[in-house]
Amino acid sequence: MSLLSIDKLNAGYGEIQVLFDVSLHINEGEIVSIVGGNGAGKSSLLKAISGLIKPMSGSVSFRGENVSRVPADEIVTRGLVHVPEGRRLFSLMTVYENLEMGAYNRNAKANFKRNLEEVYALFPRLAERQKQLACTLSGGEQQMVAIGRGIMAQPKLMMLDEPSLGLAPVLKKDIFAAVKRIAIDYETTIVLVEQDLVNSLAISDRAYVMEQGQVVLEGESQMLLTDPHVKAAYLGV
């Protein structure tokens, strides 16, 4: 049984539909990339999965239960955590306080200290900067806090929306390496939304390619790197 399974999902904003019959599945322990250009519907898909927008039709099931009508905070408590695009930190709060905000659900509260140690082990830089205000951090450090806040919620499945966006190449490498470590060390299943196809396919097992609100291709990440459509449309070769 898949950890997450989406069947013919249609969703959008008010009257405007942006996702069309999206079906996909994520197995426990996998890293799965969702790639595609700007406006393809990647962020909307994550919002629909995490309960931030309600589906028009279709289903989202997590751990065998249909969650398409479950409130967003309850979905987090059940272990499905969304690290949104653009980091969305509390800019006038410290690194520590931002991490604390990730731990508000009942399961995460019980293991607060252990989870915090895990975040600091993964990103030692955050331990050094615990008391610094989020707005004074570099882009890469802010992304570390956003991911760290996700870990504090103790996810079974973590969905990351463009974690490498806007970062210098060397920092991008650190972020992709951290994502891989989260999957391996903490046995967290990962959905990785990215526009950086090469790096995301390099660390993922499988991938889905989205265009205009639909899944147009899916397969093993290594296979997709050699797919003629992917090469022509996304890799410029």
Q: Is 15 in the site for ligand ADP (CB under 6 A)?
A: no
State how far the Cα of 133 lies from the Cα of 39, in Å rounded to an integer.
Answer: 32
Query: How many residues make contact with ligand ADP (CB under 6 A)?
Result: 11
Residue number with CB closer to ligand ADP (16 or 170): 16
Identify the sign of the CA torsion 114, 118, 124, 128.
negative
Spatial CA neighbour of 187 closest among 157, 232, 159: 157
**Tokens read off for 173:** 């490498």
- Identify residues 42-101 at the interface with ligand ADP (CB under 6 A): 42-44
Q: Which of the stretches 40-48, 69-77, 90-98, 108-116 binds ligand ADP when contact is defined by CB under 6 A?
A: 40-48
Note whether 34 and 208 are within 8 A (CB): yes
Supply the DSSP symbol for 232: I
- Identify residues 39-58 at the interface with Mg ion (CB under 5 A): 42-43
Least spacing, CB of residue 12 vs ligand ADP, in Å: 7
Q: Report H helices in the chain.
A: 42-49, 72-77, 95-101, 106-110, 112-122, 124-128, 139-152, 169-185, 197-203, 221-224, 228-230
Q: Is 33 in the site for ligand ADP (CB under 6 A)?
A: no
Residue number with CB closer to ligand ADP (123 or 208): 208
Least spacing, CB of residue 11 vs Mg ion, in Å: 14
Residues 6+ apart with CB under 8 A from 54: 11, 48, 68, 69
Residue 104 binding partner per list ligand ADP, Mg ion, none, with a CB distance cut-off of 5 to 8 Å that depends on partner kind: none
Q: Which of the stretches 10-18, 124-132, 200-208, 217-225 binds ligand ADP when contact is defined by CB under 6 A?
A: 10-18
Site string for Mg ion, 137-166 (x = CB under 5 A): ------------------------------
Binder of ligand ADP out of 24, 41, 141, 175 (CB under 6 A) = 41
Percent helix, strand and coil across the chain, each to the nearest 5 = 40, 25, 35
Q: Is 164 in the site for ligand ADP (CB under 6 A)?
A: no
Q: Which string of DSSP letters, residue by residue, matches 42-81?
A: HHHHHHHHTTSS--SEEEEEETTEE-TTS-HHHHHHTTEE
Least spacing, CB of residue 162 vs Mg ion, in Å: 6
Residue 226 binding partner per list Mg ion, ligand ADP, none, with a CB distance cut-off of 5 to 8 Å that depends on partner kind: none
Note whether 190 and 158 are within 8 A (CB): yes
Q: Catalog residues that contact Mg ion under the rule CB under 5 A.
A: 42-43, 85
Q: Catalog residues that contact ligand ADP under the rule CB under 6 A.
A: 13, 16, 18, 36, 38-44
